Structure 1
Amino acid sequence: MPTLTKLFTMEEASEHNTKDDCWVIIDGKVYDVSSYLDEHPGGDDVLLGVTGQDATDEFEDAGHSKSARDLMEKFFIGELDTTSSSIPELEIVKKAGKDIPQKFMEVTKQYWFVPVAVVGISVVVGFLYTRKK
């Protein structure tokens, strides 16, 4: 009978971001490395710097050995649920982005004289400069 793998959302994993409760995500798998912090050859700072987030790039960049990859299985607690909704911060940016064209038009209408003044001054300065020569 196959064992069921627990699924975690990115939001759930990101809540585990302290020295006493340290989770990292590597290649879509979630690892609880809280008990390994003191033993990590690169020091606990390395793991704490990526706790609660996807650390795949950092893990691959460090060039871990096969034995390190085998050791990871000891800390495996589940997989990242990729079917869950997007990260909340992205939704906030998306909502704020809808107002940008409207706000731009309001500012453009309110300060129309600024570009007109710049063009006018440029024409006068250019005319005076060419006239002196």
Structure 2
Amino acid sequence: MPTLTKLCSMQEVSEHNTKDDCWIVIDGKVYDVSSYLDEHPGGDDVILAATGKDATDEFEDAGHSRSAREQMEGFCIGELDESATVLPELKIVPEKQREHYQKLIALSTKHYWALPVAVVATSLVVGFIYLRRK
């Protein structure tokens, strides 16, 4: 088993998301599978769908053999740096801005009923005129 020397952030992994530069994360390890895409028995599209992401669930769901897991170790380039996980900042919205958004939402929901009612009314009028001419 190769010695893991590189710590990769999920941000860095997500930047390697093309067919020519394809990294995936499985069980906390980072793999550069760019050279393996054409050889993958399930086709390259399976791997490309998980490129730049944590593909642990997809990998486990596929039921890979022991030899596949051993072969995979040759593509390992490092480990995922769990400490580099970036959490989104909580944005505190001022009271006035929150009230403004609430008014916008209330106003937009009042306008959404008008279009369906107009379509139904127009359909009824056209249908009524059509039936009267027959």
- CA deviation profile, 1:53-75 (whole Å, cap 9, x unmatched): 10000001101111110011010
Q: Matches of 1:79 and 1:108 in 2, distance apart? A: 45
Percent identity between matched residues is 65
Query: Which aligned segments of 4 or more residues in structure 1 are displaced greater than 3 angstroms?
Result: 100-104, 106-111
- Normalised by the length of structure 1, the TM-score is 0.69
Q: Do structure 1's residue 106 and structure 2's residue 80 form an aligned pair?
A: no
Structure 1: tracts of 5 or more residues without a match: 112-133
**Paired positions, count:** 106
| SS in structure 2 of the partner of residue 51 of structure 1 | coil
Matching residue's letter, 1:105: E
What is the aligned partner in structure 1 of residue 48 from structure 2? 48
Matching residue's letter, 1:23: W
- Normalised by the length of structure 2, the TM-score is 0.68
What is the aligned partner in structure 1 of residue 32 from structure 2? 32
Q: Matches of 1:46 and 1:66 in 2, distance apart? A: 19
Matches within 5 A, 1:43-82: 43-82=43-82
- CA deviation profile, 1:109-131 (whole Å, cap 9, x unmatched): 787xxxxxxxxxxxxxxxxxxxx
Task: State the superposition RMSD in angstroms.
Answer: 2.7
